[in-house]
Chains A and B, each alone.
Chain A
C-alpha cells in the first residue's frame, strides 16, 4: 500500500513542478487540487493514522473493550508483560527474523532466478509465468488445503514420497514444533518467489537492450553481463524487492494461521497481534502493545524505502 501511495505522491510532485513555475492557478484549479489531495489524505487519516494513534494510546492502558469508562492507565505494564511474562513473544520474534533470513537468502534469489530463466524467451514462457505466479493469487483457505494435502502426516504426499506414510517414523510436518516452521517457510517461499519473479520479469523487460549488447561487445560473458550490468541497472526494482521481502517477513501471517493459528512452534508477531485483538481472547492493551512493537519494527524498512525513493527524486 505504501509503495503505491508514495509513487503516486512522487508523480504528483513532479507534475506540479511546471505549474509552480507559471505561478498562476485559477481558483478552480486550487479547488480541484485541494479536493484531490484532501480526500485521499482524509481517507488515509481516518483509516490509517487515527486507528494507529488510538492503538498506540491503548497500548498504555488496560481495557476490557466494554464502556469507555473502563479504560484504565497501565503505563508500560503491557510492554513489561509481553517481554517478561508472555511466553510466545520471544519465539515469535525469532521466527520473524528466521522468516526474514529465509526469504532474503532463499525465496527472493529463487524468484530472481525464475525471472532470468523465463526472460530467455523459452517456449511456453507464459505458461510457466502463470504457474509460478498462481500461488500469489490463491486464497487463504485454498492454500491451507493444498499444503494439508502435501504435509499431512498419514496421507500427505511428502510422507508418501519419503516412504514413511502410515509408519511411526512418518514426519509430523505440522505438529512437530522442530520442523513445522520449515514446512511453513517452504510454503511461504512458494508464494514469495512467484511475486518476486513477476517484479523482476518486469524489471528485466525494462532494461535497455543496448546495455546488454554493449557489454557483449566489450567481451563480458553472460554472468558478468548480468551481475555487472543488468542487475545494477534494475536498481529501482531491487529496492522495491528488498522492501517487499522485509515487509512480507514482518507481516507473515496467513500460512501459519491456516496451519495452527500460529501456536506450537509457529508463533509470529502478527499472529499474536490477531490473537490478542480479534476474537474471544481479546486483550486490548496487550494486543495494541504488540501491534505497536510490530509497527515500530516495520517503520525501519519503510523509512529506508521512503528515503531512497525521495532521495532519488532530489537527485533527478
Chain B
C-alpha cells in the first residue's frame, strides 16, 4: 500500500505527465470507476529515466510478497554492484499489477518488469508494447533449454522474455502413506484410475480437488487435453485457432468423467489450502496442483514426506509436455532503448543471477542451466528434472489463453461440469468467438 501512495505522489509531482494520466484515467474510469485510484497509481509509477547518460534502470515488480520481494532486491543489488548501473524498483501488489497491466504498459511503464510467458506476453508483443530482446538472447540463449526458449518467443518469432523460475504442476502425495498401503506411481491413465479405485476401497479420497476459486480445475483440464490431443492442440485451443465445438474437446470432458468420481466431491466449497490440509492429514491419496502446494506444509516431517509424479500418459506424446508456468522479466517498449535495462535482463538470464534470486526464494525452480542445484531438496531436484526432460512447457490455462476466456468462461463452465458432469462445448465456442473477436 505504501508503494501505491509513493507512486501516486510521484505521479502528481510530474507535471508533464499529469494531463496524460488524467485523460487516461478518465477514459478508463468511464468503464471501471472502482479502479481509478489504482490506475493512476500504476501509470504514474516511473520517473523518466532514459534521459541523461546515467546508467539507470527502472524495474516494475509485481512480486510484492515478502520473500520474492526480498529475492528481487537481492538480484538488483547484485546487479548494481556488478555493473555500476542504478536500478530503481517500483513494487506494486501483484493482483493490482496483473489487473492494471493494460494501463501500465500504455502509460509510462518501467524499463523492465516482472511478467510471465504465454498468451498475454505474446499479445502485448503483438501490440508493440514490448521490446524484442533477441540481442540479449544471443548472450544468454545457451543457458536455456529448447522448451524454455519456445515459451519465451513471441508470435512474430522474436524473443521477449527472460525466464527466471518456474514451478511444475503434477501429482503430489505422501510417501509414507503410499509405502504403508503399497501404492505404485501410475504411468498410464488406466493405472491412475485403477489406483484411485483401490484408494477409494481403502477409505481415502483418491484425488484431492478444490475449485471454490475456480482456477485450480484448469490444471486438470490442461493435462487431460495435452495428454489426449497434444501440446500443440492445447496451444491452438487456448489461442482460439482451434474451435471448442469439436470432438477433441468433448473427449477431454468425457475422459475427465472417468476421473470425477475419484476427485473430492466437495471440491466446489474448498480452496486449495483446504485440500492441501487433507493431503497432509493423509485423508486423501494424491493431489494434482502446482508445486506451490509444498509451501503449505510448515511441519518439516510432513514437508519431507511429500513426493511428486508427472501426470500419467493417455493417448499422445507420452509425458512429454509439462505444465510449468514460467515467471521472468520483460522489457517495455521504452526499456528497449536502454542498454542498462538489457544488461539487467541478461544478468537475470545467467546462472549467477538466478542463484542470487534462489538464495532468497527457494520455493521455485531456477530456469537457467548451471544454476546451483546443490541446495535442492530431493523433491525440488525431481521437479527440476521433470521440467528439464519435458519437450514442451505449457503455462497453465489462464496464462496460455485470453484472460477473459479463462476467468469469465472457463471458471463457470468447469464448475458446472464438476457439479453435474455436463458441459456445452457449443456454448464455449460461441463465447470464445465473441471474446477473442473483441481483442
Taking A68-B27, A281-B404, A283-B438 as contacts, is the C-beta distance between A177 and B419 under 8 angstroms? Answer: yes
Q: Which residue from chain A places its CB closest to the CB of B426 in the assembled complex?
A: A85
Residues A58 and B269 in contact, CB atoms below 8 Å apart: no
A236 at the interface (CB under 8 A from B): no
B389 at the interface (CB under 8 A from A): no
The stretch among B330-338, B360-368, B427-435 that forms the contact with chain A is B427-435
Q: Mark B414-436, 1 if CB is under 8 A from A, else 0.
A: 01100100001001001100110
Residues B99 and A66 in contact, CB atoms below 8 Å apart: no
Taking A62-B438, A175-B269, A278-B32 as contacts, is the C-beta distance between A263 and B214 under 8 angstroms? Answer: yes
Q: How far is the CA of A81 from the CA of B439 in the complex (A)?
A: 16
Residues B431 and A86 in contact, CB atoms below 8 Å apart: yes
Q: Which of A54, A85, A153, A174 contacts B431 (CB 8 A)?
A: A85
Size band of the interface chain A makes with B: 35 or more
Q: Which of A63, A68, A280 contacts B438 (CB 8 A)?
A: A63
Q: Mark A138-156, 1 if CB is under 8 A from B, else 0.
A: 0000000000000001100
Q: How far is the CA of A154 from the CA of B427 in the complex (A)?
A: 35
Taking A87-B412, A264-B415 as contacts, is the C-beta distance between A275 and B266 under 8 angstroms? Answer: no
A64 at the interface (CB under 8 A from B): yes
B12 at the interface (CB under 8 A from A): no
Q: Mark B11-33, 1 if CB is under 8 A from A, else 0.
A: 00000000000000011111111
Q: A-B contact count, CB below 8 Å? A: 121
Residues B269 and A280 in contact, CB atoms below 8 Å apart: no
Q: Which of A153, A154, A274, A283 has the most CB of B within 10 A?
A: A283
B98 at the interface (CB under 8 A from A): yes
Residues A263 and B106 in contact, CB atoms below 8 Å apart: no
Instruction: List the A side residues contacting B99 at CB < 8 Å.
Output: 278-280
B179 at the interface (CB under 8 A from A): no
Q: How far is the CA of A14 from the CA of B214 in the complex (A)?
A: 54
Taking A55-B30, A172-B266 as contacts, is the C-beta distance between A263 and B415 under 8 angstroms? Answer: yes
Residues B269 and A176 in contact, CB atoms below 8 Å apart: yes
Q: How far is the CA of A182 from the CA of B253 in the complex (A)?
A: 30
B437 at the interface (CB under 8 A from A): yes
Q: Which of A54, A62, A176 contacts B30 (CB 8 A)?
A: A54
Size band of the interface chain B makes with A: 35 or more
B127 at the interface (CB under 8 A from A): yes
Tell me the minimal C-beta distance from A12 to chain B in angstroms: 26
Q: Which residue from chain B places its CB closest to the CB of A155 in the assembled complex?
A: B274
Tell me the minimal C-beta distance from A264 to chain B in angstroms: 5
Instruction: List the A side residues contacting B356 at CB < 8 Å.
Output: none
B8 at the interface (CB under 8 A from A): no
Q: How far is the CA of A176 from the CA of B211 in the complex (A)?
A: 12
Taking A65-B102, A175-B269 as contacts, is the C-beta distance between A263 and B35 under 8 angstroms? Answer: no
Instruction: List the B side residues contacting A177 at CB < 8 Å.
Output: 268, 419
Tell me the minimal C-beta distance from A215 to chain B in angstroms: 49
Instruction: List the B side residues contacting A278 at CB < 8 Å.
Output: 32, 34-35, 99
Residues A264 and B431 in contact, CB atoms below 8 Å apart: no
Instruction: List the B side residues contacting A51 at CB < 8 Å.
Output: 29-31, 33
Instruction: List the A side residues contacting B412 at CB < 8 Å.
Output: 87-88, 263-264, 267
B359 at the interface (CB under 8 A from A): no
Tell me the minimal C-beta distance from A54 to chain B in angstroms: 3
A5 at the interface (CB under 8 A from B): no
Tell me the minimal C-beta distance from A182 to chain B in angstroms: 14
Instruction: List the A side residues contacting B404 at CB < 8 Å.
Output: 276, 280-283
Instruction: List the B side residues contacting A288 at CB < 8 Å.
Output: 31
Tell me the minimal C-beta distance from A88 to chain B in angstroms: 5
Residues B268 and A50 in contact, CB atoms below 8 Å apart: no
Taking A63-B438, A85-B430, A264-B415 as contacts, is the C-beta distance between A281 and B408 under 8 angstroms? Answer: yes
Instruction: List the A side residues contacting B32 at CB < 8 Å.
Output: 277-278, 282
Taking A51-B29, A282-B102 as contacts, is the C-beta distance between A264 and B419 under 8 angstroms? Answer: yes
Q: How far is the CA of A62 from the CA of B404 in the complex (A)?
A: 14
Residues B31 and A55 in contact, CB atoms below 8 Å apart: yes
Q: How far is the CA of A177 from the CA of B434 in the complex (A)?
A: 27
Q: How far is the CA of A267 from the CA of B435 in the complex (A)?
A: 20
Instruction: List the B side residues contacting A77 at CB < 8 Å.
Output: 434
Residues A281 and B406 in contact, CB atoms below 8 Å apart: yes
Q: How far is the CA of A285 from the CA of B404 in the complex (A)?
A: 12
Tell me the minimal C-beta distance from B193 to chain A in angstroms: 22
Instruction: List the B side residues contacting A260 at CB < 8 Å.
Output: 212-214
Q: How far is the CA of A47 from the CA of B266 in the complex (A)?
A: 44
Known: A84-B430, A86-B431, A260-B213. 16 other contacts (CB 8 A): A47-B33, A50-B30, A62-B437, A65-B31, A87-B427, A154-B274, A175-B270, A176-B268, A260-B212, A264-B268, A277-B32, A279-B407, A281-B408, A282-B403, A286-B435, A286-B438
Closest 9 CB pairs of A and B: A175-B269, A281-B407, A54-B30, A175-B268, A280-B403, A172-B269, A62-B438, A279-B99, A85-B430
For this complex, 30 residue pairs linking A to B, each with C-beta atoms less than 8 Å apart, are A47-B33, A54-B27, A55-B30, A55-B31, A63-B438, A64-B438, A66-B129, A68-B27, A85-B431, A85-B434, A87-B412, A153-B266, A153-B270, A172-B266, A172-B269, A174-B212, A260-B212, A261-B213, A263-B214, A264-B212, A264-B415, A264-B419, A278-B34, A280-B99, A280-B398, A281-B407, A282-B403, A282-B404, A283-B435, A284-B31
